[in-house]
Structure 1
Amino acid sequence: MAKDIEVGGDGSEFHAKDYHDPPPSPLIDAEELTKWSFYRAIIAEFIATLLFLYITVLTVIGYKSQTDPAKNADACGGVGILGIAWAFGGMIFILVYCTAGISGGHINPAVTFGLFLARKVSLVRAVLYMAAQCLGAICGCGLVKAFQKAYYNRYGGGANELADGYSKGTGLGAEIIGTFVLVYTVFSATDPKRNARDSHVPVLAPLPIGFAVFMVHLATIPVTGTGINPARSFGAAVIYNQDKAWDDQWIFWVGPLIGAAIAAFYHQYILRASAAKALGSFRSNSNI
């Protein structure tokens, strides 16, 4: 248990709310497999990712339909890129709010990977979360195709593809930086030390996370369509199943995983603690 001591403007001291970091999660925790709460969390991740893909892919397809020149539609009609970004950011806000107390509200293999590297979740939980997220994304896109098959195929199925005129290196860089912004925000918004220190400033953690998704989409939709979530890109590629989506798929896995790893290292080992202290902690718990 530790305490922060703050100094007021008049020189007086006051004690901020106590805080403590939870112990690092064990690398392998077989005991989790015996708990219903663990399976409930996996189900929550599956359903949340399904709903995320269902709403967001429908928004993308609806926008393309509303602006289709072949239908003499208004090129400036529909929700626009701004509306698509709001759909992704808004859904993340809603779903993280709903599932944070059950599964942690990851809804993204890159987020799960970053939290695993920071020893916030065990390897068993991380692997099963990622599997549930990918399966949920496939099912969410499958529902969209089942309801609007003609539109789904005609307007690209919401699949992430590198836009014309951009190199693969540019797309990879966009995914790395975009995911770094998201995962860094996740760490900052859920940091127990920060929440204790700034307890007089209430912050609803899903809000900054949703805004991070929104802002990244504004920046990278023209480049890659914005992945920053391997499950989102994988689920759309599986159901759409076209060569271009599969050829570019590696960008939407390698980029987010690298970005998440950098964010985890930056927050945990630079902002929160010295590298030496962090390494010592990792070694002391590696055999748990």
Structure 2
Amino acid sequence: MFTRFRLASTLAEFLGTAALVLIALVLSEITPVSYFVATSLAITLAAIVFIFGPISGAHFNPAITFGMWTARRIGTLRATAYVAAQMLGGLGAWQLYQYLNDKAVPAQSVTFNTTIWLAEAVGAFVLALGITAAISRAVDSLQWAVTAGATYFVGIMIASTASAGYLNPAVAVGLRSWNAAYVLGPLVGALVAVNLYHLLFSPSAVPVKRKR
């Protein structure tokens, strides 16, 4: 049943992803500098995590949702709704940007490249590890936002050495980057990060040392 909570959480994923993609589109037009792009997107992610985190879990990225689903941290129906909302958010941001800017976003079609794929996977791994840690430890909203923003910054900076540093299939679609590396890389990186964290580093996996 589609309850009010499910509607709110799905809408939060749509709005958060749309905001992230819209900022990415603006940045793609005004600056090619990786540091500035990473800083701006990190601040954007931190803001939307602070706003929507307690409502949806603050994925805003199909790769994060996919990773959480493989680790059984989110159900199949909810994961499907989230991914649909995220991709629609990316597409909606693309259309809104074109309308406001009165010009089409050019398609970027390149062949699959292993280096780009690996860079996106490593960057997404860092991002997913940070988000998983924040959710697993049940930190407060401010700590959650800072962690997400900081790991997004680090992930983008690492990935941008060899790729565009999207780390998010919805961002890639919104920027019309038709390259499987920008989808598969983040999916693999998030899958490994989420499952590795819950297997080895989560509070339930690490025994608490008692004082003698």
Q: TM-score range by the shorter chain?
A: 0.7 to 0.9
For residues 213-250 of structure 1, the C-alpha deviation after alignment (integer angstroms, 9 at most, x for no partner) is 1122222224221121111112222xxxxxxx32x2x1
Q: 2:123: which partner in 1? A: 178
CA contact (8 A) 2:121 2:186 kept: yes
CA contact (8 A) 1:137 1:234 kept: yes
Q: 1:20: which partner in 2? A: none
SS in structure 2 of the partner of residue 171 of structure 1 = helix
Distance 2:43 2:57 in 1: 17
Summarize the alignment of residues 70-149 of structure 1 with structure 2, pairs less than 5 Å apart. Answer: 80-149=33-102
Q: CA deviation at 1:149?
A: 3.4
> Which residue of 21, 25, 31 maps to 1:57?
25
For residues 67-115 of structure 1, the C-alpha deviation after alignment (integer angstroms, 9 at most, x for no partner) is xxxxxxxxxxxxx322111111111100111101111111001111111
Summarize the alignment of residues 137-216 of structure 1 with structure 2, pairs less than 5 Å apart. Answer: 137-150=90-103, 152-153=104-105, 156=106, 168-192=113-137, 204-216=143-155
SS in structure 2 of the partner of residue 270 of structure 1 = helix
Deviates most, 42-51 or 129-138:
42-51
For residues 115-155 of structure 1, the C-alpha deviation after alignment (integer angstroms, 9 at most, x for no partner) is 112222111000110000000111111111112234x54xx
Q: 2:191: which partner in 1? A: 261
Distance 2:28 2:109 in 1: 11
Q: CA deviation at 1:160?
A: 8.6
Relative to structure 1, the CA distance from residue 63 to residue 213 in structure 2 (aligned partners, 3 Å threshold; closer, same or farther) is same
The letter of the residue matching 2:133 is S
- TM-score, normalised by the number of residues in structure 2: 0.87
Distance 2:135 2:13 in 1: 18
SS in structure 2 of the partner of residue 223 of structure 1 = coil
Identity %: 24
Q: CA deviation at 1:61?
A: 0.7
Q: 2:210: which partner in 1? A: none
Flag structure 1 segments of 5+ consecutive residues without an equivalent.
Answer: 1-32, 65-79, 238-244, 275-288
Relative to structure 1, the CA distance from residue 271 to residue 160 in structure 2 (aligned partners, 3 Å threshold; closer, same or farther) is farther
CA contact (8 A) 2:123 2:154 kept: no
The letter of the residue matching 1:112 is T
Q: 1:220: which partner in 2? A: 159
Matched, 1:46 2:11: no
RMSD across aligned positions (CA)? 2.3
Distance 1:271 1:160 in 2: 38
Distance 2:170 2:184 in 1: 12
For residues 1-49 of structure 1, the C-alpha deviation after alignment (integer angstroms, 9 at most, x for no partner) is xxxxxxxxxxxxxxxxxxxxxxxxxxxxxxxx34111011111111111
Aligned length: 204
SS in structure 2 of the partner of residue 205 of structure 1 = helix
Higher relative contact order (CA 8 A, sep 6+): 2
